[in-house]
């Protein structure tokens, strides 16, 4: 994780408001990590398409986290506000 933090800070500068998630397993026995940042800095990373972390060439992808209702699986509402049908 320290290597990811160093690359991020080297590309975007140090900033305490950004967060780095934990490494997680994804397809083909590879790993991924989520970096949360503002839109401007995210666009800077996306334009690069790839970054190097240590000896590894890593693809940069946009990840959008949408809130979903646990009752009807609709977007942008909570279960408390839900007027949909329960699944």
User: Which tens digit of pLDDT belongs to each residue from 4-63?
Assistant: 767 777 777 776 667 777 778 888 888 888 888 888 888 888 898 998 888 888 888 888
CB 78, CB 67: distance < 8 Å: yes
**Tally of domains within the chain:** 1
Domain span holding position 27: 2-81
86 in a structural domain: no
Q: What's the whole-model pTM score?
A: 0.56
pLDDT score for 1:
65
Q: What is the pLDDT of residue 7?
A: 72
- pLDDT of the residue at 85: 62
Query: For residue 79, what are the CA distances in angstroms to 5, 19, 63?
Result: 36, 27, 23
Q: Is residue 29 in some structural domain? A: yes
């Amino acid at each position: 994780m320290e290597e990811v933090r160093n690359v991020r800070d080297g590309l975007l500068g140090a900033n305490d408001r950004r967060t780095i998630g934990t490494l997680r397993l994804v397809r083909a026995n590879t790993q991924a990590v989520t970096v949360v940042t503002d839109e401007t800095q995210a666009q800077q990373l996306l334009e690069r398409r790839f970054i190097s972390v240590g000896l590894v060439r890593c693809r940069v992808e946009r990840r959008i986290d949408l809130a979903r209702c646990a009752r009807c699986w609709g977007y942008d509402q909570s279960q408390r506000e839900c007027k949909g049908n329960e699944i």
